[in-house]
Structure 1
Amino acid sequence: MTEGYTPAEQAAMLRALELAATPGVPLGPNPRVGCVLLDDDGRIIAEGYHRGAGTPHAEADALASAGDAARGTTAVVTLEPCNHTGRTGPCSEALIAAGVRRVLFAQGDPNPIAAGGAERLRAAGIEVASGLGNEEARALNQVWTFAVEHERPFVTWKFATTLDGRSAAADGTSRWVSGMASRRDTHRLRALCDVMLVGTNTVALDNPRLTVRDHDDQDVDLQPLRVVMGERDLDPSHRIFDEAADSLHLRTRDPRAALARLFALDKRHVFLEGGPTLAAAFLQADLIDEVVVYVAPLLLGSGASAVADLGITTMSDARRLEVSDVSVLPPAEDGQTDVRLMLRPTKGSI
């Protein structure tokens, strides 16, 4: 991957990836992008990164810092410079106007609306190369890339279960199956998404807040959109409709229709925390992309299953998943030790 690139360019790409991953950037429809400008001696002239929708793109941020010194430089960028006008102007035109000599980008832009920057740069006589850091850049923007390529949000399904596969006891109580460490880890994962999604049953029975909270159980500043899906009327006094975060009631039982609406609202990552009925609906529609399971060292023997009936009657039809990570979470104040499984559907299985 590094063949043909100087050590300075390789180091600059690593730095651009670091900039792109800067903490605190709000989630939204845009990818995370970093940019580094190098002079002919491989020295860094300026750096920049994108800080969220409506703010300057990484290239514009770096060019603004460099000023006239940008002329003749090599721009090392984690994503192909855009070639369209949205809330900001095309980065390809900004690089041309600044007199940049060469552009090196990691990942091609999968968005057909914004793509074409490389061609525009070449047409203006700028040398363009791509591929260095491509895998790292795609990993950084995995969810955004998936959403753009599939024209729907990436869906992470999270649930907690006992050792015998129960999400609630026979009397309906479910607090708490998972331990405190798992619940804190769930808030960390919630913060990586821009939609929290549950069904009307969950709202009616559990009355969840669906906010991201810190270790002191206080709401953080940046909150995902809280979405409830289903046709049932709900009491507006439910906590999901309070002022802690924005909320939306999608009056549909169709997972595809729900995701289409959310994609149209520029949402790219859905965190599915609904009950077994909603989970089964998404599974049967082949719309689960990642599964996070907290397995608690508990046995109930009866009670609600973690997922509703999938119509499976024989082992050969079982839905199969591939384990990508297994972690034993250290116990918190309650002393409970849970195991977290991270899984991906096996191709053609879900």
Structure 2
Amino acid sequence: MRAALDEARKGWGKTHPQPMIGVVLVEKGKIVASEYVDRSGARSPEATLLENLGRLPSKTANLFLTLEPGPSSNRLESGVKAILESGLKNVFIGAGDPVLEQENKGADALKEAGLKVERRILIEDCTDLNLIFNHWVKHQSPVLAAKSATTMDGKIACRTGESKWITGEASRQNVMCWRRLFPAIGVGAGTLIEDDPRLTSRIDGEEEWCGVRFVMDGLLRTAMERFLPSIYTDDFRDNTIVVTTDAAGTGYIRRLETEGVNVWVLPTANMKVPFPDFRKKCYDVGITGIYFEGGSKLTSEMLQMRELDYHFNYRAPLLLGDDKAVPVYRGMRIEKLSQAIRLENVRHESFGDDQMVRGHVSYPSRLDVDETVFSND
């Protein structure tokens, strides 16, 4: 199954809105064929593998699938049919269909036809592989994720504002991999003005890649500067979407559109981008996930509004111990540990001296916030 996972990862960031899937055929303990989904709309990898094999598998062959051939991945008919017609007798499945009502339909169809089916092989790894797809089909909504890079005591900058670099090169290269996976990257207006990031994926040995780039800017502060941020004028500017509100000036909207930048205007009562409307707009245009690299303000507001679905936290072995250093999270009023925001389905990785923890955000039933923090921003 690990070989099937490696095969699936060849489709990293290329299959949206479909999942990454790896398939491996083993005969006499050796891999004789492998296949993966390389793009959206590709046929079922089981069918492609068995067709390219050019012969029937041996009677003792084993087929490994990272994802069950189910309705959510549009393989219940094509994938199951290809396996049955091949004469295979042994199938090993990693993750089931992510939609509860659809789970096991493909596996049960194979079992009813007389095949030996073993499920849940490396299920945690196989499920984690498609965290974007799984959220998309289960919730009919894009997954909103955020990344933070902090010191041991949760700071993202010194009291002077210095922040480059808290984490090491290995961590920053890993961020580039996640940028390549997500179809869209997002930042807040403050981060864009202060850092002027490119918001592209730059992986050693690969061509620079740019997905959709979102800027959350309720008042179009980023369009007020004499010189516009680089993502409004570079070669990828037609991939940039500024998300603003009806409180923004029409002149600034025209300035951005003249540069070739896209602008989404969402109605709001408080001059802040309404995330529920933003989610719906993303769903309507088929954007399955957004990887936010905002600062303290954007990340904290998303948590306060319960809009953050997934979180990546890179932690460097640095300790500031300074109350006036910039914290990554703020504005919460947590009086009991039971009221804390938690991560679930947690994964841990190390990059050089840094540690990264990531997982799905789980909110308490009651979440108290300091309204003055958010109303004054």
Q: If the length of structure 2 is used for normalisation, what is the TM-score? A: 0.68
One-letter amino acid matched to 2:277: A
- Provide the rounded CA distance (Å) in 2 between the counterparts of 1:320 and 1:85: 32
One-letter amino acid matched to 2:235: E
Residue 231 in structure 1 maps to residue 218 in structure 2: yes
| TM superposition shift of 1:100 | 4.6
Q: Is the Cα contact below 8 Å between 2:91 and 2:116 reproduced in 1?
A: yes
- Provide the rounded CA distance (Å) in 2 between the counterparts of 1:51 and 1:196: 22
Which residue matches 1:28?
16
Q: Given the superposition, is the C-alpha separation of residues 229 and 71 from structure 1 closer, same or farther in structure 2, using an over 3 Å criterion?
A: farther
Residue 196 in structure 1 maps to residue 189 in structure 2: no
Which residue matches 1:187?
176
One-letter amino acid matched to 2:290: V
One-letter amino acid matched to 1:238: P
Deviates more, 1:132-141 or 1:69-78: 69-78
Kindly report the root-mean-square deviation, in angstroms, between the aligned alpha carbons of the 2 structures: 4.1
Q: Given the superposition, is the C-alpha separation of residues 97 and 250 from structure 1 closer, same or farther in structure 2, using an over 3 Å criterion?
A: farther
Q: Is the Cα contact below 8 Å between 1:50 and 1:61 reproduced in 2?
A: no
- Provide the rounded CA distance (Å) in 2 between the counterparts of 1:156 and 1:22: 22
- Provide the rounded CA distance (Å) in 2 between the counterparts of 1:85 and 1:324: 25
- Provide the rounded CA distance (Å) in 2 between the counterparts of 1:18 and 1:345: 23
Q: Given the superposition, is the C-alpha separation of residues 151 and 301 from structure 1 closer, same or farther in structure 2, using an over 3 Å criterion?
A: same
Q: Is the Cα contact below 8 Å between 1:103 and 1:127 reproduced in 2?
A: yes
Q: Any idea what SS the aligned residue of 1:46 has?
A: strand
Which residue matches 1:94?
82
Which residue matches 1:307?
329
Residue 284 in structure 1 maps to residue 321 in structure 2: no
| TM superposition shift of 1:157 | 2.3
Q: 67, 71, 79: which one pairs with 2:67?
A: 79
Residue 139 in structure 1 maps to residue 133 in structure 2: no
Q: Any idea what SS the aligned residue of 2:18 has?
A: coil
| TM superposition shift of 1:302 | 2.6
Structure 1 gaps, min length 5: 1-12, 331-338
Which residue matches 1:18?
6
Q: CA-to-partner distance for each residue in 1:125-155, whole Å, 9 max, x for gaps?
A: 3536241515242233344334433333444
Which residue matches 1:275?
295
Q: 1:1-16 maps to which residues of 2 (within 5 A)?
A: 13-16=1-4
Q: Is the Cα contact below 8 Å between 1:328 and 1:340 reproduced in 2?
A: yes
Q: Given the superposition, is the C-alpha separation of residues 261 and 92 from structure 1 closer, same or farther in structure 2, using an over 3 Å criterion?
A: farther
Q: 31, 49, 53: which one pairs with 1:66?
A: 53
| TM superposition shift of 1:292 | 0.8
Which residue matches 1:319?
340
One-letter amino acid matched to 2:329: V
Q: Given the superposition, is the C-alpha separation of residues 65 and 179 from structure 1 closer, same or farther in structure 2, using an over 3 Å criterion?
A: same
One-letter amino acid matched to 1:150: H
Q: Is the Cα contact below 8 Å between 1:195 and 1:270 reproduced in 2?
A: yes
| TM superposition shift of 1:231 | 2.8
One-letter amino acid matched to 1:240: I
| TM superposition shift of 1:283 | 0.6
Q: Is the Cα contact below 8 Å between 2:334 and 2:340 reproduced in 1?
A: no
Residue 342 in structure 1 maps to residue 331 in structure 2: no
Residue 48 in structure 1 maps to residue 48 in structure 2: no
| TM superposition shift of 1:54 | 2.9
Which residue matches 1:250?
243
Q: Any idea what SS the aligned residue of 1:56 has?
A: coil
Q: Given the superposition, is the C-alpha separation of residues 58 and 69 from structure 1 closer, same or farther in structure 2, using an over 3 Å criterion?
A: same
Q: If the length of structure 1 is used for normalisation, what is the TM-score? A: 0.72
Q: CA-to-partner distance for each residue in 1:206-241, whole Å, 9 max, x for gaps?
A: 3221112246xx984433322122433343942223
Q: Is the Cα contact below 8 Å between 1:196 and 1:227 reproduced in 2?
A: yes
Q: Any idea what SS the aligned residue of 2:156 has?
A: coil
